[in-house]
Structure 1
């Protein structure tokens, strides 16, 4: 077997020795191992005796590279022209103390850009206090001094958010929504000046990004940050600071932290095997208010916790969770506000969950739970219920009435009154037997409704009930609606609503959509729109071209094999109705992202003045008929093609031809999945 291994950031020669013992002794097939470390001694231990040419030291940035990086960092972080005035006076001071180390440069540059009102004399004094003597190459201690200064200068709310990041393991992508819900549950984020908790948290983490303490990794299709990373050295500093302030206690994982001397408040258990099973032994866990598990622990010290004070329990991905843990321990955590069982093996939520009267978030996505118990309806503070699975499409059934009386829908409506605090209901399934649909009328505070599976027929009573409920929720302020329709006429019936939704920000209609609702053209607040590829026609683009806030537009269809021929017939008719080529007309003043996900993407062309702000096009397909006129898109930066399966010669030729558009300004990226 031939292999190439990259082992990043080894801290000790002993660790390398343990890894080396697991690798083949002989290397007859010329395999390679690359090891990185911040310590010279570890690098020497990794090199064979006498092979000094295999040890490479990473050079610091030279003067020109450092100057370009600090200018770029200040430019990315600034929010006003005032910061631009400051940068020319302080750049040289920053470069003097950072010694060519990128982390130090971006951290200081971000900090300066976020404090534009401070005069250059202030920064001169800061640099002198940090490093009284000139610096040629920055040591680890020097980096710590800079991080310490940047942390201590943060406002109190930002300090709390920064410290909270120590909860997550090194190198993990942190979900913004997961983090926001947790911070809200612990009382660190609350509504302020008309902003929701999520919007307040977003401003906090935007500040940390501007200060270069965290780095965005993934963005949602609406342009907002979905996940981010914390630089290893920044996280090491935060973990140390968090331990010092007894804010979060990290046990196991990468960091070798001393055992806590005080009672633990928030516990992050990070492990990769059985050797960490007893890592909480001799630690007082009676005051723990937040528990988070990462890795492959076999068991948790449930008996050591005080169930009466735990507010956050995040078990995402923990495969050791059993139904007995829910019944005997979790349902006794009476103050619990945030409960995540995502990606666990749990299959049933017990009726005893009704005891968690303070519960705000219940996350059971990607589990085996198919239906919620009726007792959930009595949770008066529940604001987010997250269930189902997007791939494959599996939905979560709402609590069902098990009675035969004619007035069962009225009873369902009455029983669901306890869920008036609900803001997010995501991943549900509705079929002809569902009895809880009328209860949707009671969820007057609902902001997001995502139906993963819809299996009803036009003549069904529930069809009318669901149509009425969604119309009513629109009038109450529903901002996000997503419906995956597996064959009913329901998504086509939405066009019959008498008035357009006034507050809609995101809309997703998947399935055999015949035409988009005409009221879409009046949605001035709509920023994210996903439609079935079955409506990909020139007249659809004309319907959408004047939407002022539309940021992303997606046409998507994942048709079953037996429907492939029908879908192709629909697409051929659409193309024929559009004169043989689907043309994107002038307009779309704010659109930055355009996506097509389908077995077949027909011939597309861009007219003059179409999508002037468009930055990215993403296409995922098995067959492709061409993309023309992209040279007219002045702000286009990337075209990403993902080809699924074996493609025809024509598709291969068109993809190759499109790659010729690659320039310094525009990247055309092709991924082929055979």
Structure 2
């Protein structure tokens, strides 16, 4: 196996940059230390070159163990040098005399005041120099020779110049829809399994389908496809991943949350319906932490534990409904009882994914199932082990269901490797269409032994090496498997993953290994990952591209290589969320352990405690034992901390606040106000996420985090930022508010005294009543790096804030979640002026939710259009469409109020060349306030064109996604098949709908998604029935369930 060098090489590159900056500081270094730093810099540069050579050497070379040990020493000394430099940076004054022309006296004063910290650091650097010398000597002493480059034909690895071109190649990818993948070559099998799941059994009892097969063979894909198709025929449904190491409470709570949400919505909900490639991960539901205050008495702790241990019935918890908050504090006994009660009288379907032991089934799943349920309920189970499948489905025989008195029928289905032409069909389907099909494809698909995971991964390798000769691919096949391959074992899978991993450039290796931070089966946000890559220094400015563009290029290449699986798309056509296949995650986890790159505690992994110092720590919920799981670990060098799930305790006291750069506490309900105060001491922090926590206030001391780049406080109780946030010079993203509830985050403004607010006799104010957060003396000239300002609230009193937006000339995204201003107020004019100015500076995304004022209609009067816009969202009572929209050739995503839905509006928009998605929306809450008015506007709109909205023929050439989200949707008609020729998906959410006609003639339409209320069932049934008559019918999803 090749040495894992990606992360080490990236660390070295970052470190060399820091050393160069340190050497440039003329006055900061003690005499003699500059030579030591220069020596360390030169040694590490040579070591980096050695690592880069190793990254292109394939397996089969000698001295692997010696090289691995030598690399480990390089990595450790590099980490220690980096810690020393960062400590140096925050212990010495930032505004030192090296930043200005200073007198001799000031120079001496600086040297005197910083003498002790500089001497301490000088001593540490001297020690590190000795270690670097010893590592260099040890290499020669034990014969760690330079690697010899092998024949390039044995590896598709791109050379250095080609790797550089990859960034530009993958930076700009065409927007696309993430399609729902169906199991390949299993049409008949799927139909039989679907029939078994839906047909009533003679005794109406519960029945279990166990899907058994080797890892990567497609068990979860089959299970999710079945679950998605049939779950609409059941009263309630839930899916959850269990895996090898699980948290019992979290598994039960996840199921209960899904079931209870459906009850509250009166049936299945969109949130409970998932893409077939996703699984309900452990801890994904919002759960409260059970961390206890240190001052809590022993009696109180004992009472809390007793409450969790007692059945719910003894605690008066038998109300018809329990709140989400109550569910979060329930113990396992209470959760089981509540699930039994809710499922007792329902026909339910459950998907339990990835069970590893019969004990899990008998001790976790069986206890919460109602003992008597004659509703024809079903359970789908996936497992790698036949014995476990037999335990879950005890009444089966050779894949044929057998009955048992008083119970339903069980079925055990074994998923075999692909045979015949199926491997080649899957291979061809997994590479881009323009690529030429050759004999190479047949050879490569054959060595994958019929394993779908291996096939799609190898196809990704081919997709990223389109110019490689067929003869080279043949040599690669022979080097991987000199003997014929019938079926693939674990070693064979590892060989193929090795080949694909070795082909990655060093930067991409690092980015891939970083995914091992996330729990097994986790749905990962693309934007969250990109921001973290940037904060870690993995994605830096390169070839004229920004950090964000480089991160996007890296992500696109991992997706094209099929090393990650997109599972959710945004309305702009970009991937919104993705997952990593379990076997790929296990592979990169082993690589991360080898490099001491990531340390995972808890979760699905059973890792031994590392002997090395922990650098990047991922704490994952794994049950009640988690609280002691960090014992014995050296956490003093942790630079990145991520928390997942319902943890009892996070050892903040064990961390060195001076070196933590990434702190991701999203969803951790144990976060307290005192923790946030401590976070303000993490002086080199770059990424801070406390999203979906219960924090209500950000301390003013946040100004100390001068390196902070991302502040994510969405879906918290924080209503206003402190004034000191304006002093964050490096901040690039401020994310706040709640998009679902339209709750906004207020930006700070400085109140003036009352005397200044009193008007003069002429009726004019002498001075503004407030100052904006960028108008303060300390904040002037700051926040020039801000690129994203999302989720803010603007009200009448925000005139100073609106005016301050002028200064954010680097802003690329502005999202206003709540707007409540009057037309005669100064705020109205200041905000319009700021938006117009920012539009000329490069604003790419503008979103305004205006339910209570007339501001969005004033955008019509803008003198100059925001010509760089890529995404525009205008929500509220929009009276007319701004004419300047037609001049924005870059517009990719447009969301506008349904109040302007007319045939004329569609005629205006038809010629936008880049428009990928078009949404007409109106929030339910706004419609309730003025229901008759909104409905009247829609009636007038359709009467202008003979009672229907007509989609114009031709044009809309790039549009692939059309959406209508509103309480009332008028009649829509597609009279010509040339209307929206590229359209792939129509999504609709409504209470009243008058019909959708002509969609059967749309040649590229693949899916129609309907989210309906009870009152709209008739039109839904009509639409579904109409589409069933079409031989080339699109799939119709009603509330996330396939119905046609």
TM-score, normalized by length of structure 1? 0.94
Quote the residue 1:604 is aligned against. 972
Alignment of 1:62-141 (within 5 A): 62-75=419-432, 81=435, 84=436, 87-141=437-491
Alignment of 1:266-665 (within 5 A): 266-327=616-677, 329-404=678-753, 405=756, 406-408=767-769, 412-415=773-776, 416-417=779-780, 418-434=782-798, 435-558=800-923, 559-586=926-953, 587-608=955-976, 609-647=978-1016, 649=1018, 651-652=1019-1020, 654-660=1022-1028, 662-664=1030-1032
CA contact (8 A) 2:1009 2:1040 kept: no
Change over 3 Å in CA distance of 1:144–1:588 after alignment to 2:
same
1:497-548 per-position Cα deviation (integer Å, ceiling 9, x unaligned): 1121111111110001100111111111111111000111111112211111
Check whether the contact 1:662–1:668 (CA below 8 A) recurs between aligned residues. Answer: no
The answer (yes or no) to whether the contact 2:659–2:684 under 8 Å persists in 1 is yes
State the Cα deviation string for residues 32-66 of structure 1 (Å, max 9, x = none). 55432223454455564997765543211111211
CA RMSD of aligned residues (A): 2.2
Displacement after TM superposition at 1:438 (Å): 1.0
Residues 432-488 of structure 1, C-alpha deviations (whole Å, 9 max, x = no match): 112311110110100000000000000001111111111111111111110001221
**Contact 1:61/1:101, CA 8 A, preserved across alignment:** yes
Offset of 1:659 from its aligned partner?
3.3
**Residues 193 and 585 (structure 1 numbering): CA distance in 2 closer, same or farther, change over 3 Å?**
same
- Structure 1 CA distance, aligned partners of 2:380 and 2:972? 45
Alignment gaps of 5+ in structure 2: 1-343, 400-410, 757-766
- Gaps of at least 5 residues in structure 1 are none
Equivalent pair of 1:658/1:668 in contact (CA under 8 Å): no
Q: 1:671–1:420: structure 2 CA closer, same or farther, 3 Å change rule?
A: same
The structure with the greater share of residues assigned to helix is 2
| 1:210 Cα deviation from its structure 2 partner | 1.5
Q: Match of 1:157?
A: 507
Secondary structure in 2 matching 1:8: strand
- Three-state SS of the structure 2 residue aligned to 1:103 is helix
Once the two structures are overlaid, the 10-residue window that deviates more, 284-293 or 194-203, is 194-203
Give the Cα–Cα distance (whole angstroms) in 1 for the partners of residues 743 and 439 of structure 2: 58
* Higher alpha-carbon Rg: 2
Q: CA offsets per residue over residues 387-421 of structure 1, 9 Å max, x none?
A: 00012110000012221432345665523532221
Which piece of structure 1 moves more, 258-267 or 35-44?
A: 35-44
* Cα 1:614/1:24, change in 2 over 3 Å: closer
User: How many residues are matched?
Assistant: 664
Q: Match for residue 213 of structure 2?
A: none
Instruction: Quote the Cα distance in structure 2 between the aligned partners of 1:47 and 1:668.
Output: 32
SS of the residue corresponding to residue 136 of structure 1 reads: coil
Write the distance in 2 (CA, Å) between the matches of 1:24 and 1:630: 44
Specify the alignment match of 2:367 in structure 1. 22
SS at match of 2:354: coil
1:129 shift after superposition: 2.1
- 1:210 aligns to 2:555 (yes or no): no
C-alpha distance in 1 between matches for 2:489 and 2:705: 50
The answer (yes or no) to whether the contact 2:748–2:772 under 8 Å persists in 1 is: no
Query: 2:430 and 2:396 mapped to 1: Cα distance?
Result: 42
In 2, Cα distance between equivalents of 1:452 and 1:50: 55
Cα 1:141–1:561, aligned 2, differ >3 Å: closer, same or farther? same
Task: Write the mapping of 1:141-290 to structure 2, written as runs, cut at 5 A.
Answer: 141-290=491-640
User: CA 1:32 to 1:514, structure 2 compared with 1: closer, same or farther past 3 Å?
Assistant: closer
Structure 1 position 60 matched with structure 2 position 417: yes
Offset, 1:91: 2.4
| Kept after mapping to 2: 8 A contact 1:644/1:672 | no
Asked whether the 8 Å contact 2:1000–2:1030 carries over to 1, the reply is: no
Aligned to 2:356: 11
3-state SS, counterpart of residue 469 of structure 1: helix
Q: Secondary structure at the match of 1:297?
A: coil
Distance 1:642 1:316 in 2: 29
